[in-house]
Structure 1
Amino acid sequence: MKINCNFDRNKKLWIQVGTLDNIIKILSQGMPATISDLLSFLSIPETKSRHLRIMMRLLSCIGIFKSNVTPSGVEAFGLAPVSQHLTTSFPHSPCSSPFVLFLLDHHLVDPCHQLSYWFRRSDMSTTPFEMAHGKTFWDFTGAQPEFNDLFNKGMACDSIFVMDVLKHVGREAFKGIGTLVDVGGGTGLTAAALAKEFPGLKCTVFYLPHVVNSAKKIDGIQYVGGDMFLELPPADVVLLKWILHDWSDEDCVRILQRCKEAIPPKEKGGKVIVIDMVVGVGSNTQTSMETQLLFDLEMMILVAGKERDENEWHELFVAAGFSDYKITSSIGLRSIIEVYP
C-alpha cells in the first residue's frame, strides 16, 4: 500500500480529505481539469483560485496527481498511478478510497498530537487515541455511528482487496477446507468471497453481537455473535484477518487459545489462518518495511497493538500451545500464516 506511505510522508494532516476525494472523483471522468474547471465543479469561490493551485501543484509534485500544459497554454491536472487506485474506474484493481478516507479521518489524526504527552507518561494503560477522545478505539467506534460506518467501509474495502489478491496467490491455504469461522469478519464480505471462490466451503462470520445483529446478511453465510476472548464456534479452520495486530501479546495468546479449542487436530485438517503483517517480509523490502513501520506506529497510537516480525509471531504461537506454522508472503504488506495445533 504505497498510497498510505505517500500520504503519511507528505503531511497528510493538512490535506483536507473531502476536497481531495471530490477532486479524484472529478478527474476520474477521464478529462484533465484546469483550476477553473475544479473551482466550478467543487463550488469553490474564485478568490481561492491561487490557493487551490498551490495544493494541486504540491499534490502533483509528490505524485498524487499529474500536471500538464494544454495546447492553449493552460495548466491542467489528471490522475497519476497512485490516485487511480482511489477510483472505481481503475481496471483490474479494487477501489482503495474508503480505506484511505478512514486512515485520513480526523478522529485517527487527532491522537497523533497527543504523542509528546503520551511518551512522558509511565502509564501504559491509556493510548493516545483514548487521551484525545476519552474512550478506547473500540468504545468510541461503538458510540459513534458515522465513524463506525467509516470504519466498516474501510475494512470492507480491505477485504475486497485481499480477496482479489487471493484469487491469484495464496489459494493453497484455503483449499480442501470444509468449514471456516471468520473471526471479526465484519459485514461478511471476506467470508462471502471465500465461499464463492471455494465451492463447498461453509463460512461463519463471528463478531460482537451488536455488529452481527445490525449487519446486512449475505445469503449462504452464517452469522454468530459473541466474544472471541471467551469462546468461538467450532470449525475446521479459524480465520484471523488483520485482527491480532489490534491486541497486546497477552490478549493475542488468549485469542489464539480460543482458536485452538475451536479446531480439530492438525491430522484432521485443523489450523488457524492469520492474515497479517510480518515485519520485514514483503514484495518490495524497502517500501514494505517503511509502510509496515508506519502501521506499527498507528497501532501503538490507536489500540496499543503492534505489527510483529517472525520471531514475535513465533513466540505468540508457542505461548498459545501451537506446534508449527508456515508463512506465505503474498498479499503486499501482509502475509498468510498457517498455524497448526
Structure 2
Amino acid sequence: MDSNLSNEFSELVQAQADLWNLTIGFLKSMSLRCALDLGIADATNNHGQPMTLGQLQSTLSLPATKKPHLHRLLRMLAHVGFLLEKGASIGTEAVYGLSTMSRLVLKNEGAFSMFSLVRSQLDFIMVKPSLHLGDWFKQDDQQKPFEMAHDSTFLEMMSKNPKFNKIFNDAMERTNSFFIGAFVNNVSDVFKGIHSIVDVGGGTGALAKGIAENFPHVECTVLELPHVIRGIPNDGPVKFVSGNMFNYIPLADVVVLKWMLHDWCNEDCIKCITVMQRGNCFDG
C-alpha cells in the first residue's frame, strides 16, 4: 500500500476513535453519577475490603437480573480510575476496591468528602443546560443556557427547589470546611491585623464559622440571599445578613468572594466590585 494512503487511513481510524470517545464521553460522568446513587463507594468502604461482583450486587440489594449490567458498570468505573479492579483472570473472580478518587466521595469523610459537590454537578438540573448550547448561540439575547433550559435563573431554581438547594448548599459547606483546614494549617498569618470579614455569597456560613472558631478576634459576617439563610439562627459567632451583592456589601476589613464572580458576566462583576469599593453597607 502506498505510504501516503497508509498514513491517511491511520489518521482516519484515529479520528474516528477520537470522535467516538468525544461522542460517548458523557457515559463516564453518568457512570460516576450512577455509582453515587447506588452507594458503591460507601458499600465497599463499609465492607472493609475489596468486594466481588456478587457481594456488591447483594449488598446493594439489586435484582439478580441487573448483575451482568452491574459488572459492566464496575468495569467502566475501574477503567476511569474510580475503582481498583484486582484478580481478573481465568478462573479467578475479580474484586473491586476503593481508589483515592472513590474515597473522596465517601459520605462519612467529613470535610474532605466531595460527594455533595460531585452529586450536585451531575444533577439533571445542572446537566440539562448543556443540551441547549446550540440554540443559545443562535439567539441574540442575554438569556443564559440555564434559563433557556429551566425557564428560571439558577438562583430562582435554588429558591423553588428545596431538594436541589440542600444538595448544592451541602456541597458548598463541605468545600468551605476543606478551605478552613488549609487556612488554619498553612496560611494563618493572613489573618494578622484583620478584625472583620464579610463572606459574600457565603451559603450557610461554613467558611465564616470556621474562621470565627479558629480566629476569634475576627468578626465574621455572611451576606446571602434570603432563601439560603432562611431559618439559620443569627445568635452565634457569625452574623447573617440577607441581601444582594449588587445592591450593598457590609463594611469589613476583608471581603471574601470565593467562587462568586465566575457566575456573572464582566459587567456584573464590575458592578459588584464597585458596590464593594463604595462601601455600601447594611443599615440595620
Report the TM-score, using the length of structure 2 for normalisation.
0.82
Report the structure, 1 or 2, having the larger strand content. Answer: 1
In structure 1, stretches of 5+ residues that fail to align are 1-7, 264-341
User: C-alpha separation between the residues in 2 aligned to 1:157 and 1:222?
Assistant: 20
Q: CA deviation at 1:12?
A: 4.2
User: C-alpha separation between the residues in 2 aligned to 1:26 and 1:100?
Assistant: 18
Counterpart check, 1:205 vs 2:222? yes
1:96/1:157 contact within 8 Å kept: yes
1:188/1:221 contact within 8 Å kept: yes
Counterpart check, 1:119 vs 2:134? no
Counterpart check, 1:259 vs 2:276? yes
Distance 1:218 1:35, change over 3 A: farther
Pairing 1:135-174 to 2, within 5 Å after superposition = 135-174=152-191
1:183/1:207 contact within 8 Å kept: yes
Pairing 1:291-306 to 2, within 5 Å after superposition = none
Deviation digits for residues 50-108 of structure 1 (CA, Å, limit 9, x no counterpart) = 111011011101101001128982211011111111125669x6111111111111111
Pairing 1:67-106 to 2, within 5 Å after superposition = 67-69=85-87, 73-88=92-107, 94-106=112-124
User: C-alpha separation between the residues in 2 aligned to 1:148 and 1:247?
Assistant: 19
Q: Which amino acid aligns with 1:20?
A: L
- Pick from 213, 223, 226: which aligns with 1:196? 213
Pairing 1:1-341 to 2, within 5 Å after superposition = 11-15=27-31, 17-21=33-37, 22-29=39-46, 30-69=48-87, 73-88=92-107, 94-123=112-141, 125-215=142-232, 217=234, 219-262=236-279
Question: SS of the residue aligned with 2:212?
Answer: helix
Q: CA deviation at 1:24?
A: 1.0
1:159/1:189 contact within 8 Å kept: yes
User: C-alpha separation between the residues in 2 aligned to 1:150 and 1:89?
Assistant: 16
Q: CA deviation at 1:169?
A: 3.0
Q: CA deviation at 1:11?
A: 3.4
Distance 1:164 1:53, change over 3 A: same
Q: CA deviation at 1:9?
A: 5.8
Post-superposition, which runs of at least 4 consecutive aligned residues in structure 1 deviate over 6 A? none
User: C-alpha separation between the residues in 2 aligned to 1:218 and 1:161?
Assistant: 24
Q: Between the two proteins, what is the percent identity of the paired residues?
A: 35
Deviation digits for residues 157-210 of structure 1 (CA, Å, limit 9, x no counterpart) = 111122222223343333221111111111111001111222311101111233
Partner of 2:3: none
Q: CA deviation at 1:127?
A: 1.4
2:147/2:154 contact within 8 Å kept: yes
Q: How many residues align?
A: 254
Q: Which amino acid aligns with 1:151?
A: F
Most deviating of 12-21 and 197-206: 12-21
User: C-alpha separation between the residues in 1 aligned to 2:28 and 2:129?
Assistant: 14
Question: SS of the residue aligned with 2:236?
Answer: coil
User: C-alpha separation between the residues in 2 aligned to 1:70 and 1:12?
Assistant: 21
Deviation digits for residues 201-234 of structure 1 (CA, Å, limit 9, x no counterpart) = 1101111233233235572111111221112222
User: C-alpha separation between the residues in 1 aligned to 2:44 and 2:235?
Assistant: 34
User: C-alpha separation between the residues in 1 aligned to 2:155 and 2:50?
Assistant: 42
2:51/2:95 contact within 8 Å kept: yes
Identify the structure with bigger relative contact order (alpha carbons < 8 Å, sequence gap 6+). 1
User: C-alpha separation between the residues in 1 aligned to 2:175 and 2:146?
Assistant: 22
Superposition RMSD on alpha carbons, in Å?
A: 2.4
User: C-alpha separation between the residues in 2 aligned to 1:169 and 1:11?
Assistant: 38
Deviation digits for residues 249-306 of structure 1 (CA, Å, limit 9, x no counterpart) = 111111111212239xxxxxxxxxxxxxxxxxxxxxxxxxxxxxxxxxxxxxxxxxxx
Question: SS of the residue aligned with 2:186?
Answer: coil
Q: CA deviation at 1:39?
A: 1.2
Question: SS of the residue aligned with 2:230?
Answer: helix
1:187/1:216 contact within 8 Å kept: no
